Structure 1
Amino acid sequence: MAATRSIKNKHREPRQKKNPSMATLPTPSRRRKPRTLATVSAILAVLLVISVVCLLLVSSNTWRAFQQVVSYETISVVNEFPHDPQAFTQGLLYAGNDTLFESTGLYKKSSVRKVALRTGKVEKLQKLDDSLFGEGLTLLSNRLIQVTWMQTNGFIYDLKNLSKLGTFNHDMKDGWGLATDGKVLFGSDGSSTLYQIDPQTFKAISKQVVFYKGHQVHNLNELEYINGEVWANVFMTDCIAKISPKDGVVVGWILLPNLRKELIEAGNNAIDVLNGIAWDAEQERIFVTGKLWPKLYEIKVSPIKSKIEEGMAEQLCLRKPFQFL
């Protein structure tokens, strides 16, 4: 480069005097090209950062599931109440004044019913068509809302007399569980997806895959909203998952294997799985039962004091996706 400059200088024309009447034209800058390259490099770097951030956001549920501190809790029984042993419980809720509402399943036996807590007596009953299999149930604005299995439609009932007010269609692939925080509906369809649903249009507002330590939690079943969390029965287990509705991460597990075990040991061999969670917000009471269980339990939840063995929750509470026969 030095030799080149010297040759150019050697043959340079004599400098002419400036003409004050002529405007001086700016000479092109030799640094413009490097500046352009630097700008392009900066833009590419910004785009790369944005791409990485977007990638992290897409996998944020999995990442938070790994980082989240999870509670492990057991239960003690506060009270036992009679429960219809013919009720294939699919949805359960507490409506005040020691009154429960329950949705039951099985073809030709499905219903919505009003039940007295202390006696287990069915006070009102609305039977479903024989071709329908009742599933999740919740209460919002004095309306009972029910979904049905293997269907994308559901029913709305009057709270007082259980008369049918209407039908609706939803965006879930199937109807399993329903709950509400008083503003939106939470729904499950037996997969690992937790839905948030507009109660006016019944369209999905959001869908969140539920994770526990990087594992999808499949078979989400009956739901209840309790103190800012969505509690979900996990089908074919004795576990209740406590789910953050903000991101779908499991923040805790409640382990209830003793309830079903004690019923079987007492000779109740025809019972099915744990299913049914109801919350009395006023008195802070939790009720649980199961399909064809002769009892409904008021329970108290408390932390497990002993150390949880690695992988225990995975073994007890996680299952492969439910397969239809």
Structure 2
Amino acid sequence: MAVVLVMSAACTSTPNPPEQPTQQRRPTVEVIGTLPHDPEAFTQGLELVDGVLYEGTGLEGQSSLRRIDPATGDVQQRVDLPEDFFGEGVTVVGDRVWQLTWRNGVAIQRDKNTLQEVKRATYEGEGWGLCRDGDRLVMSDGTEELRFRDPETFAETGRVTVRRNGIPLVRINELECVGGAVWANLWQLDEVVKIDPGSGDVVATVDLSSLRPADVPASNVLNGIAAVPGSADEFLVTGKNWPTIFRVKIKAG
């Protein structure tokens, strides 16, 4: 979520991309700023909380959780996952950070200030994206379903099927919960979707292909979306091994 890992959260093969939207709101995007981003960071999760940008990265032997200065892009602190863990999405809950793993079936909870491990929880299936929606967590697993989880125990409390134009939408990747909606990257597509977590309906699709750096290969997909606190329409977005984090304003279409 490398050389032999042409994937977002997952997969060593290259399946057909998800279906394309036909009747969707198409908001426009304005770039209002940029930050440098570590091009060695295989971004899997991104979240901006209390003036700190938390980033989870992936690949076995390279996975980490980082605290980044959102003003400069500097990595202030980093902890590495066990060598056999493939890191995935992250989200902050109070003074803790949850981080998923891809196929290890383990979620790691850490202290958000020290990044030291507090405890672990297990789950079935794959882990891709994660965000906090009020008193619950929302998790993606690469399928058309979003799973709801308890923010303390990580126990599953429900699911919803995501549909775009009435068609189940698969490969839902990195997540961001804001304003009662779930924003999601789609693996293999340089776009994000806005999902109503109550119905599972996609209510908007945003094309971010214009942000792709010219020298970034197609295999390094867009992944990483973090809402800017205090704003309803501004986000930080980046991609796997991208050299830049973009601050964008998404304008309703």
Given the two structures, how large is their TM-score scaled by the length of structure 2? Answer: 0.87
Report the 3-state secondary structure (helix = DSSP H, G, I; strand = E; otherwise coil) of the residue aligned with 1:258: helix
Shift of 1:202: 1.4
% identity of equivalent residues: 37
Instruction: Number of aligned residue pairs: give it.
Output: 230
Q: Is the 8 A contact 1:85 1:294 kept in 2?
A: yes
Write the mapping of 1:261-280 to structure 2, written as runs, cut at 5 A: 263-264=213-214, 267-269=215-217, 272-280=220-228
Shift of 1:170: 2.6
Find out whether 1:142 has 2:95 as its counterpart.
Answer: yes
Structure with more of its chain in strand, by fraction = 2
222, 228, 247: which one aligns with 2:180: 228
Find out whether 1:114 has 2:67 as its counterpart.
Answer: yes
Within 1, Cα distance between the matches of 2:144 and 2:102? 16
Shift of 1:225: 0.5
Question: Could you say if the C-alpha distance between residues 270 and 221 of structure 1 is closer, same or farther in structure 2, counting changes exceeding 3 Å?
Answer: closer
Question: Could you say if the C-alpha distance between residues 269 and 251 of structure 1 is closer, same or farther in structure 2, counting changes exceeding 3 Å?
Answer: closer
Partner of 1:247: 199
Write the mapping of 1:151-300 to structure 2, written as runs, cut at 5 A: 151-171=104-124, 173-260=125-212, 263-264=213-214, 267-269=215-217, 272-284=220-232, 285-300=234-249
Shift of 1:270: 8.0
Partner of 1:87: 41
Q: Is the 8 A contact 2:24 2:165 kept in 1?
A: no
Spell out structure 1 runs of 4+ moving beyond 6 A: none
Supply the AA of the counterpart residue of 2:220: D
After superposition, what is the alpha-carbon deviation per residue over 1:133-159, rounded to whole angstroms, capped at 9, x for unaligned? 100000001100001011221101001
Find out whether 1:100 has 2:32 as its counterpart.
Answer: no
Write the mapping of 1:34-45 to structure 2, written as runs, cut at 5 A: none
Within 2, Cα distance between the matches of 1:139 and 1:120? 19
Q: CA RMSD in A?
A: 1.5
Shift of 1:274: 0.3
Report the 3-state secondary structure (helix = DSSP H, G, I; strand = E; otherwise coil) of the residue aligned with 2:189: coil
Within 1, Cα distance between the matches of 2:133 and 2:163? 21
Report the 3-state secondary structure (helix = DSSP H, G, I; strand = E; otherwise coil) of the residue aligned with 1:71: coil
Within 1, Cα distance between the matches of 2:62 and 2:251? 36
Within 1, Cα distance between the matches of 2:141 and 2:182? 15
Name the structure, 1 or 2, with higher relative contact order (CA <8 Å, separation 6+). Answer: 2
Supply the AA of the counterpart residue of 1:227: G
Given the two structures, how large is their TM-score scaled by the length of structure 1? Answer: 0.68
Stretches of structure 2 that go unaligned for 5 or more consecutive residues are 1-22
Question: Could you say if the C-alpha distance between residues 301 and 270 of structure 1 is closer, same or farther in structure 2, counting changes exceeding 3 Å?
Answer: closer
Find out whether 1:126 has 2:74 as its counterpart.
Answer: no
Give the structure with higher Rg (CA).
1
Q: Is the 8 A contact 1:233 1:275 kept in 2?
A: yes
Supply the AA of the counterpart residue of 2:245: L
Supply the AA of the counterpart residue of 2:226: A
Structure with more of its chain in helix, by fraction = 1
Supply the AA of the counterpart residue of 1:72: R
Q: For structure 1, which segment, 249-258 or 282-291, has the greater mean C-alpha deviation from structure 2 after superposition? A: 282-291
Q: Is the 8 A contact 1:96 1:280 kept in 2?
A: no
